[in-house]
Structure 1
């Protein structure tokens, strides 16, 4: 929402001159009233604050509420709202009846006669102009001005279009109502409406009706301000797809005691253009609702509890009894001393979010300033993050971003699973449980893969065809006398993998898994002996030969991945291919994480160049990419295969060859690329491709 500092300061006129609007914005933000933008409105007009007010702070969704926060911060008086009206010409009261007291806890009505409908002038026109708020007429603008000023919704009816008195009731099923936006709505039986004796006049707390709106011909007005049940307003607002300024506030709990003040403020603004008051203000209060909102029981507040919860401050005196009383009183609480330590705190009607002692303690901390507390850890003991915490978080975040969901499997495994998934590492030993729960849980797991296979099977057996899972956990080896724990990671996926230019859909799962493993490796700084990445075909027996691989850093195997063997898949009655990976996190955690670097996006046009080349079937993409990247063209920002084509009949492409459509994208951060540069780079790329035995198709030179 937008707040004018000129308007705000009119409610707290004594803010020191050294506190400029920038400082005011910072002080409010530090107290949880976030100012996200400060915009100058020119000499003498102050600034406009763009504010982000949390949904529980409906009291701060207006200028007066923000002013209350400023007054509390600087320990200054807050100007009162003058809603007094001229004396009425008669004592007659306008008839109002509430048929749903549980949904309308308070209703005020004021009759104004012989009014003049004109364009707004004075402070209303000035503030609306600064806010770029649409002006309609003095009567309608008065309602909007009060809403922006002190936060309570109101509505003005053309009194001459009201038949009889006001009735607050539930709509009749199927009842029609034309609203101010020109749409006709069919009402449900639980929609609350403000009506007269014959028809609905408006959807209560959401929007007024067309038939009773203010027009230039209006002479007599009924000003309404009320309190409506939040749940009822929310239902009607959602049902009819209407989110208005009024519903936004009523849904979150309006101030029960604000209705008569808001009514008086609107009436006063309208009367400034002429007219007179007829009859006293009608103010109907439902005691049961008042007891739940404006007259809630006082809360017992202990100063010692405030000090215990909030801890040490940077100031040596800390948070004293006087500070607690000052802050809470300024926020609207009425404090009655009970003992030297205890207060009985009566809660303000505009703060329905305050319910318990801890809420008041949080208010003290907020106004005092979170930045004024010492950086101390809770006692007893000292909290120390594990050395691998940052790496674990980075791995988790990356896999979640890649579409995997985190899972947890059993810490135990069977001997059969160990024989299969731990084969080849028997020298490490397995840990047998002395008192196993069952034959399926005789060992501490030596690998995460058995649990991953079980979780994938459980999903497939429940007709979940597309699954992406990962698990970070400990694996165990050694003996019962000396147990060794190590961090490990398992990945599992099945179903709905997409083909690309380099591989068919049947192989997509393997390459997706390979990409995930390589993405994890990219998180770590692999300098020195760890820089070289090698992929070999030697894999454990639970992976399908020819459809699996191992990844090495130097001479160390850090990951194995591929497709589960068909024999194991059939034994587990899995109806589609399953791809698995196991990563040695303990080894990766010995490497430092890379520092994340951001670079500025280029403002200059990117240029694409495509190369169509015939290559021998034995030529791998890794070799092609390495040859082109070796050219070290800094302006080449992307290199990707677009299409791979083979002709089984050998007509378009000879047997033993394939056609590759290669795309390069060039872009500079500091200039527009010149044609001669692009020509030179294209020639270099062509030379690299022909050096690999490639032949350009149809004399292609890059396009």
Structure 2
């Protein structure tokens, strides 16, 4: 909301400076985003009257002018093309200082003395127009300081309003606030009903009363659309950021800025029959005043006549019914449209308007008819004509339900005690009607305050007017208790720190992603879609973290980072009828990590090799400790079919580990295949408390055992076959060699194990060790069809 301070002071004029004014508004919640001067500093410029203009004898484009500066005649040489006898213009006298540190002196121009300079708007810094002199109205007082006459010491204020304060999108609304804050009296615009001079009127039909519960309008005939807009009105509009177009349009814009009610004028000669407020038919089209043709959907509210659409309600009028300089009859509308019927419609079609900005936030439905009367009077005064009676159609308007306000609740919310008398005084200053019942108040919000619905809204109003800076700040006091920490729960911070210590960097990606990621990395053809995505490539919710990590790798490679180790923790989203906390959806936490490029940073002491499946498997086992995991061959949409394993902990599948699928490696243009895993975070945060056990002081016995088994047999299958059947002396079985080739039958492989044996109380004897090894060998032969390698 942009306006001039001097215009606002015609409504309410507190005895405070401009700086105090802006601070007052900002501290009351109406943030002053910009505060700028109408014109830069200059001095020595007055209103002058051009008496005579003659050609310069030695220059074709120069004129010698005799200028009345207020009882004294000066001679000034001027080259402006629009200089002429009888006009009044700004004149900079000798000694004047103009913007840009330009000083005016008596000088000779082609041999002719010039005692000053006639000025354009650009030379005064109030406009970019340099086409000629700034022509002033004929009644401008000669000799008066131009800054005083044009009110160039005025300041332009721009308020950064929150969406709930639609009542301040007008000078009257801001004036109400200033009056409430300062106690200064407010002067309301004088609005008297215009007495009809003709009987003509148009019927109004509300076909969509829920979207348009109030519509009123009147005919005005015999208007002069070519009548000039008064300079005072032009000045108010231009200083509010609105360009002057024509008198009829300017009046509607002026009343919108003044009272907050958008208006629209139709050319009555182009209308047929009654005026309807109805919803659009799907596919219906309209050409707007901005020369944009819209193909409408059936949730768009239209203003139409009996034949065609006239305007998109609350947004913009149509070109075919718009007024021109040839218009002689107008139908002037003033209406209230439900904010929900206007909100988002203009943005859907890629534009906005001052009207839609106000209607979608809420316009005072109690002031629609007053605004119509105000605009009618201005049009008659400026353009002439005769007005007809007001036609009005109403349906159910928004209810203004009474709200109970308890001083005790005010004290509890604000932390300070405000007396009931002061609360009543604040409510009166805010023009909030109330009835007092003992200590409590029953407040009925006015029609222009859509933001007041509950008791806390009223408490906020009391705090604003009482003054936020009048509410003391107190340090919070609370008793802190040390909460127990159980060793069965591992903090997420510790998991993150462990990965960071291992050289991984944490990333945070959006939970809403490109739909193609869900198809590629999760084979999810029916993802959870967002109703209102912020971008087309962020239209669905993720069910895996893999897509984000792959995108991070691509970004790093573009920046020549060839070794990448990343991890992310975050929620994934699945449909689940039993899901919580949002019904119908499950949102588990997951952790995913990815490694790409060299297994180790490049160095002279180690050979260079790329990271592989077993590197990341080791990192995962470190995270899981003291838990152990099984790794079973499996398939996953994102992973290489032959290099993918399912992670199983306590016989429950909890995630996947493997290399990226070659298809996605090629699609995302990765020179190497990343290795990654994704696992349920609960498995890592829920751990096992440590248990004390004596450390044996007896020596260990180490034996090696080599066996030949079927080539397709996996090491995990061997361990599974031995589970629960090992001799009690055996503490560890470690695979240290796998061999195929010469000396080994085709289709077979040799596995070499290191067997560690120990007793906690005594030294083992050779006979015991030999017996244990024989028992182990027999078990391998029975369960795995193993043969001793010779």
Fold shared, TM-score > 0.5 on shorter chain: yes
**Where does residue 26 of structure 1 map in the other structure?**
23
Cα 1:467–1:125, aligned 2, differ >3 Å: closer, same or farther?
closer
1:86 is matched with 194
3-state secondary structure, aligned to 1:304: helix
CA gap 1:220/1:382 in 2 versus in 1, 3 angstroms: farther
Matched, 1:160 2:269: yes
Question: In 1, distance between residues paired with 2:320 and 2:406?
Answer: 55
1:25-71 CA distances to partner (integer Å, 9 max, x unpaired)?
Answer: 01100111000221122543421012211111111122211111111
2:435 is aligned to: 336
Provide the residue aligned with 1:111 in structure 2.
219
* TM-score, normalization by structure 1: 0.57
1:125 to 224, 234, 237: 234
| Structure 2 residue corresponding to 1:376, chosen from 474, 480, 486 | 474
**3-state DSSP class of the match of 1:70?**
helix
SS of residue matched to 2:343: helix
Residues in 2 aligned to 1:187 and 1:568: alpha-carbon distance in whole angstroms = 57
* Worse-superposed segment, 196-205 or 566-575: 566-575
Counterpart CA distance in 2 for 1:224 and 1:25 is 35
1:5 aligns with 2:27: no
CA–CA distance in structure 1, aligned partners of residues 205 and 492 of structure 2:
73
Q: Please give the secondary structure, in 2, of the residue aligned with 1:324.
A: helix
Question: Any idea what SS the aligned residue of 2:348 has?
Answer: helix
Deviation, 1:234, is 2.4
What's 1:99 paired with?
A: 207
CA drift at 1:92:
5.4
Is 1:275 the equivalent of 2:272? no
Contact 2:219 2:329 in 1 (8 A): yes
1:11 and 1:498 mapped to 2: Cα distance?
60
Contact 1:112 1:275 in 2 (8 A): no
Bigger mean CA offset, 446-455 vs 321-330: 446-455
Task: Give distance in 2, aligned partners of 1:277 and 1:229.
Answer: 31
* Distance (Å, rounded) in 2 between the aligned partners of 1:354 and 1:133: 30
1:516 is aligned to: none
**Counterpart check, 1:38 vs 2:35:** yes
Q: How many pairs align?
A: 447
Partner SS for 1:198? coil
Q: CA–CA distance in 2 between the matches of 1:188 and 1:545? A: 53
Find the counterpart in structure 2 of residue 189 from structure 1.
Answer: 298
Matched, 1:347 2:445: yes
Aligned to 2:422: 323
Equivalent in the alignment of 1:246: 355
Assess if the C-alpha contact under 8 Å between 2:222 and 2:386 holds in 1: no
Q: 1-side partners of 2:308 and 2:600: how far apart? A: 75
Could you tell me which residue of structure 2 aligns to residue 574 of structure 1?
658
CA gap of 1:149–1:444, structure 2 versus 1, over 3 A, is closer
The residue correspondences of 1:419-568 to structure 2 (distance < 5 A) are 448=496, 464-467=545-548, 495-496=553-554, 498-499=556-557, 507-509=562-564, 547-548=599-600, 565-566=614-615, 568=617
Q: 1:378 to 1:449 in 2, by over 3 A?
A: closer
Partners of 1:497 and 1:509 within 8 A in 2: no
Output the CA distance in 2 between the equivalents of 1:217 and 1:447: 77
Q: TM-score, normalising length from structure 2? A: 0.51
Matched, 1:179 2:275: no
Question: Structure 1 508/304 Cα, relative in aligned 2: closer, same or farther at 3 Å?
Answer: same
Cα deviation code 1:59-100 (max 9, x no counterpart): 112221111111111012222232214321245543111111
| Distance of 1:446 and 1:128 partners within structure 2 | 62
Distance (Å, rounded) in 1 between the aligned partners of 2:219 and 2:548 = 66
Counterparts of 1:544-623 in structure 2, within 5 Å, are 547-548=599-600, 565-566=614-615, 568=617, 573-576=657-660, 577=674
CA contact (8 A) 1:377 1:383 kept: no
8 Å Cα contact 1:466/1:496 also seen in 2 = no
Residue 233 of structure 1: how far off its partner (Å):
1.5
Q: How big is each residue's C-alpha offset from its partner over 1:372-393, in whole Å with a ceiling of 9 and x where there is no partner?
A: 11111456x268999xxxxxxx
**Cα pair 2:172 2:188 within 8 Å, conserved:** no
Partner in structure 2 of residue 592 of structure 1: none
The secondary structure found in structure 1 opposite 2:409 is helix
Among candidates 212, 216, 223, match of residue 321 of structure 2: 212
**Contact in 2 for aligned 1:225/1:259 (Cα 8 Å):** yes
By how many angstroms is 1:544 displaced?
12
The question of whether the paired residues in 1 share the 8 Å contact of 2:196 and 2:389 is answered with yes
Tell whether the 8 Å contact from 2:310 to 2:320 is kept in structure 1 after alignment.
yes
Shift of 1:282: 1.9
Structure 1 residue 170, shift from structure 2 partner: 2.0
Of 216, 222, 225 in structure 1, the residue corresponding to residue 331 of structure 2 is 222
Matches of 1:444 and 1:174, distance apart in 2: 54
**Contact residue 114 and residue 275 of structure 1 kept, 8 A:** yes
- Write the mapping of 1:635-674 to structure 2, written as runs, cut at 5 A: none
Unaligned runs of 5+ in 1: 313-317, 387-410, 413-430, 434-440, 470-492, 514-542, 551-561, 581-703
Matched residue of 1:376: which SS? coil
Q: Deviations over 1:192-243 (max 9, x none)?
A: 1111121211111111111221111111111101011222212532333231
Contact 2:432 2:443 in 1 (8 A): yes
Partners of 1:563 and 1:579 within 8 A in 2: no
Partners of 1:578 and 1:100 in 2: CA distance: 60
Paired with 1:110 and 1:142, the residues of 2 have a C-alpha distance of: 15
Indicate conservation of the 8 Å contact 1:465/1:494, yes or no.
no
Are the aligned partners of 2:38 and 2:155 in contact in 1 as well (CA < 8 Å)?
yes
Question: Aligned-pair distance for 1:343?
Answer: 0.9
In structure 2, what is the equivalent of residue 304 of structure 1? 408
- What runs of 5+ residues in structure 2 fail to find an aligned partner? 40-146, 508-517, 523-542, 568-594, 603-610, 619-642, 648-656, 661-673, 678-790
1:259 deviation in Å? 0.9
Cα root mean square deviation, aligned: 3.8
Distance 1:162 1:305, change over 3 A: same
**Once the two structures are superposed, what CA deviation does each residue of 1:483-521 show, in whole Å capped at 9, x if it has no partner?**
xxxxxxxxxx984363489x7x6x4215x89xxxxxxxx
Residue of structure 2 in register with 1:61 after alignment: 169
Alpha-carbon separation, structure 1, partners of 2:163 and 2:295:
29
**Matched residue of 1:232: which SS?**
helix
Distance 1:243 1:345, change over 3 A: same
Aligned positions of 1:409-428 closer than 5 A: none
CA gap 1:216/1:449 in 2 versus in 1, 3 angstroms: closer
Q: Which of the pair is proportionally richer in helix? A: 1
